[in-house]
């Protein structure tokens, strides 16, 4: 079996496993409402410990693959960084704001929840989507780190601008809400969901490369570690979906109302980013990384924010939790779209990026 056929098989099986995990999570939450309260009990300072464990393990293998010594050189590429910042911090928030107002003008709680989701740029699951689509590992780590810094210092300001000021201009004073978000709270979320797996990945690479050599590390250790990322992803999906399984079954029409703008958001953001990046002459690996970084969102931060500000039973929190229900299947499908689009890039595209380590999530 050729490499492309094996990758296609792995991709299809991963998609199947994720859909089964989603179904299992919803079934558990709907059949046993107490599971949600039990999982909520395992929280620390607004952070769900089960979700944190799943996300950290999910991110650890891709981050252990990153060649951190290349990051300073890659950071000098102002063009790719500038494109990413535009897509993540201007295009993304304005697109979500527009879609939320178009599709949820009569449901202010859900609308605010979606706007808050649009402001939270992804720092976790994007690493898995990027790896599955064979994007650029080093640029993914670099752009995720950059998004984390911007999130810490801009998230509260952007929440005020979009939810309080701009919403007030569009819908009047009754549509304006105050969203008190502290830099410390955002920094804590970033530290847990990104800082821990980055530290683990960096230390693992530094220690084992020195002791065993780079060839052993990349050809033996990483090949065995990479497939375990899917375990963390599936565990996270089951936990997240079980948290609101009861409400998803009880309020199917509300889920549909929230899902429509989310589906459009993911598809539009990915298409615009992928098309723009390809047109600007980026390689397949760079284009894929830019597209998945732009199309993904930090639902962990959005969920923590809406629960902390509005309460766990609020419509804002419900809208934020629906986010990953839509993101996971859509982004998995877009992984397959990206892999099929790979042949449209020049044959030398894979070599255009400076020798990235192989980034397939499941390994070979």
Dump pLDDT digits (tens) for 152-193. 778 888 888 888 888 888 877 666 666 666 667 667 777 777
pLDDT at 175: 65
At residue 190's C-alpha, the angle toward residues 187 and 196, to 5°, is 120
Quote the domain boundaries for residue 210.
Answer: 3-352
Banded pLDDT at 6 (limits 50, 70, 90): very low
More confidently predicted of 277 and 181: 277
Q: If you average pLDDT over every residue of the chain, what do you get?
A: 81
CATH number of domain containing 280: 1.20.1530.20
- Tell me which residue has tokens 């629960």: 307
Distance of CA 44 to the CA centre of its chain: 22
237 φ, ψ (degrees, to nearest 5):
-60, -45
DSSP assignment letter at 193: I
In a domain, 231, yes or no: yes
In a domain, 298, yes or no: yes
pTM for this predicted structure: 0.77
Q: Which residues pair with 360 in a beta bridge?
A: none
Distance of CA 114 to the CA centre of its chain: 15
How far apart CA 325 and CA 212 sit, in angstroms, is 41
In a domain, 220, yes or no: yes
In a domain, 361, yes or no: no
Give the count of alpha carbons within 13 A of 256, CB side only.
5
At residue 209's C-alpha, the angle toward residues 208 and 213, to 5°, is 115
DSSP assignment letter at 173: G
How far apart CA 77 and CA 292 sit, in angstroms, is 19
The number of beta carbons lying within 10 Å of the beta carbon of residue 141 is 27
In a domain, 26, yes or no: yes
DSSP assignment letter at 344: G
More confidently predicted of 321 and 277: 277
In a domain, 209, yes or no: yes
Cα dihedral 256, 262, 267, 268 sign: positive
Q: Which residues pair with 47 in a beta bridge?
A: 44
The number of beta carbons lying within 10 Å of the beta carbon of residue 108 is 17
Span 238-266, pLDDT tens digits: 887 787 777 778 888 999 999 999 999 99
Is pLDDT of 322 > 70? yes
281 dihedral zone (left: phi>0; alpha: psi -120 to 50; beta): left
In a domain, 171, yes or no: yes
Is residue 307 within a helix (H) or strand (E), and if so which, with residue range?
A: helix 299-310
In a domain, 360, yes or no: no
How far apart CA 88 and CA 296 sit, in angstroms, is 9
**Domains contained in the chain, number:** 1
Banded pLDDT at 93 (limits 50, 70, 90): very high
How far apart CA 345 and CA 53 sit, in angstroms, is 37
Both tokens of 26, joined, read 């919803």
- Contact status, residue 54 vs residue 236, Cβ threshold 8 Å: yes
Q: What are the residues whose beta carbons fall under 8 Å from the beta carbon of 94, sequence distance 6 or more?
A: none
């Amino acid at each position: 079996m050729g490499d492309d056929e094996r990758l296609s098989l792995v991709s299809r099986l991963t998609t199947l496993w994720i859909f089964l995990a989603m179904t299992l999570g919803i079934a558990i939450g709907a059949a046993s409402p107490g599971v949600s309260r039990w999982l909520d009990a395992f929280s620390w300072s607004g952070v769900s410990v089960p979700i944190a464990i799943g996300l950290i393990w999910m991110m650890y293998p891709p981050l252990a693959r990153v060649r951190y010594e290349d990051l300073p050189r890659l950071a000098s590429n102002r063009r790719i960084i500038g494109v990413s910042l535009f897509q993540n911090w201007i295009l993304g928030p304005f697109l979500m704001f527009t879609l939320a107002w178009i599709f949820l003008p009569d449901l202010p709680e859900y609308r605010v929840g979606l706007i808050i989701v649009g402001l939270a740029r992804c720092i976790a699951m994007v690493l898995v989507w990027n790896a599955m689509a064979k994007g650029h590992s080093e640029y993914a780590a670099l752009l995720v780190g950059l998004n984390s810094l911007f999130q810490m210092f801009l998230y509260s300001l952007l929440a005020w601008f979009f939810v309080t000021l701009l919403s007030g201009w569009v819908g009047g004073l009754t549509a304006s809400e105050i969203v008190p978000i502290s830099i410390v709270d955002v920094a804590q979320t970033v530290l847990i969901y990104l800082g821990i797996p980055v530290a683990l990945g960096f230390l693992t690479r530094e220690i084992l490369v020195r002791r065993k050599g780079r060839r052993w590390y990349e050809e033996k250790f990483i090949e065995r570690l990479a497939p375990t990322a899917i375990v963390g992803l599936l565990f996270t999906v089951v936990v997240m979906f079980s948290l609101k399984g009861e409400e998803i079954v009880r309020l199917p029409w509300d889920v549909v109302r929230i899902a429509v703008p989310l589906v459009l958001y993911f598809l539009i953001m990915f298409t615009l980013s992928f098309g723009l990046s390809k047109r600007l002459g980026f390689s397949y690996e760079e284009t894929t990384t830019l597209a998945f970084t732009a199309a993904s969102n930090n639902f962990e931060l959005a969920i923590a924010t809406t629960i902390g500000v509005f309460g766990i039973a609020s419509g804002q929190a419900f809208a934020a939790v629906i986010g990953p229900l839509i993101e996971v299947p859509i982004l998995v499908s877009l992984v397959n779209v990206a892999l099929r689009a790979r042949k449209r890039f020049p044959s030398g595209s894979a070599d255009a990026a400076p020798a990235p380590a192989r980034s397939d999530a499941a390994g070979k």
